Amino acid sequence: MSTQTTASPEHRSLSLIRSLVFFDLETTGTILGIDRIVELAVVKLWPDGRRSEYEWRFNPEMAIPEEATQIHGIRDEDVKDEPTFRDSLGEIREVFADSDVAGFNIARFDMPLLQSELVRAGVKAISSRNIVDAMTIFHLKEKRDLSAALRFFCNKDIENAHSALAK
C-alpha cells in the first residue's frame, strides 16, 4: 500500500461530520462473485481538513483477461507478487472505518464488487454508510431520458414524450 496525507483546504466547504472515502476499483471484469479487485485507490477527506490518499494492488488469484488489461493497463505480471485482497484487509478496513463512501458509479458497480470481495474474505459486508454516487447525482442534474436523447441526437425538443408518434 502507498499512502500520502496532506492538508486540503479546498474541501472545507463540505462541512463533513465524519470522514468521506472516495474510492475506485480496477478489476478482472464486471461479474459479481467471479471477478476480483486488482487495484483499489482511495482519497479520504477528514472533517478536520486533512486529505489522505491510499493505493493497493492485489494478486487477484486468477488471470486478468486481456479485455480488462486494455482498460486499466494492469497485467498478471504486474500483480503476481502483490498480496491478495484478503491479506490487505486489515489496512483497508482501517481506512474505511467510520467513513461514508463516495465515487462514480459506486452504487451499481464498485460497492457490490467490494462487498463480494469482503464476503469472499470471510468478513461481514460494509453497512451503515452513506453512499454518495456522483453518477447518480450527475444523472439527476443532467437528465437521461427520451427528451434528453432526442435533444442530444437530433437537436429537437419533443412535445408529448408519452405518445409513440409524438413529433
Asked whether the predicted pLDDT for residue 111 surpasses 80, the reply is: yes
Give pLDDT tens digits for 130-158: 899 998 888 788 777 777 777 888 888 87
Give the Cβ contact number of residue 61 at 10 Å.
12
Distances (CA, A) of 2 to 22, 43, 53, 54, 97: 16, 12, 8, 6, 18
- Tell me the C-alpha to C-alpha distance, in Å, between residue 37 and each of 56, 90, 116: 10, 16, 10
Question: What are the start-end ranges of the E strands in the chain?
Answer: 2-7, 19-27, 37-45, 50-57, 99-103, 131-133
Residue 82 lies in a domain: yes
Q: Is residue 51 part of a domain?
A: yes
User: Of 3-12, 17-26, 65-74, 84-93, which gets the smallest average pLDDT?
Assistant: 3-12
Tell whether the model's pLDDT for residue 110 goes beyond 80: yes
Where is pLDDT greater, at 163 or 73?
73
Give the Cα-Cα-Cα angle 31, 69, 88 (nearest 5 degrees).
70
| Cα Dmax for the chain | 60
pLDDT tens-digit series, residues 71-94: 999 999 999 999 999 999 999 999
What is the torsional sign of CA 87, 80, 111, 103?
A: positive
Flag whether 155 is in a domain: no
pLDDT of residue 165: 53
Does 156 fall in a domain?
no
Domain count, the chain: 1
Alpha-carbon span 11 to 9, nearest angstrom: 6
Q: Kindly report the CATH number assigned to the domain that includes residue 75.
A: 3.30.420.10
Reply yes or no on whether the pLDDT at 47 is more than 70: yes
- Confirm whether 147 is domain-assigned: no
Query: Which of 10-19, 34-43, 55-64, 98-107 is predicted least confidently?
Result: 10-19
Asked whether residue 165 is assigned to any structural domain, the reply reads no
Confidence of residue 64 (pLDDT cuts 50, 70, 90): very high
Residue 163 forms part of a structural domain? no
C-alpha cell at 11: 474541501
Please tell me the pTM assigned to this model. Answer: 0.79
Calculate mean pLDDT across residues 105-117: 93
φ and ψ of 129, to 5 deg:
-120, 145
What is the residue range of 8's domain? 2-138
* Grid coordinates belonging to 130: 452513506
In a domain, 53, yes or no: yes
| CA–CA gap between residue 82 and residue 1 (Å, rounded) | 10
Q: Tell me, what's the pLDDT at 3?
A: 63
> How far is it, in rounded angstroms, from Cα 70 to Cα 83?
22
pLDDT average, residue stretch 43-58: 96
Question: Which segment of 17-31, 46-60, 78-92, 125-139 scores lowest on mean pLDDT?
Answer: 125-139
Q: Which three cell numbers stand for residue 2?
A: 502507498
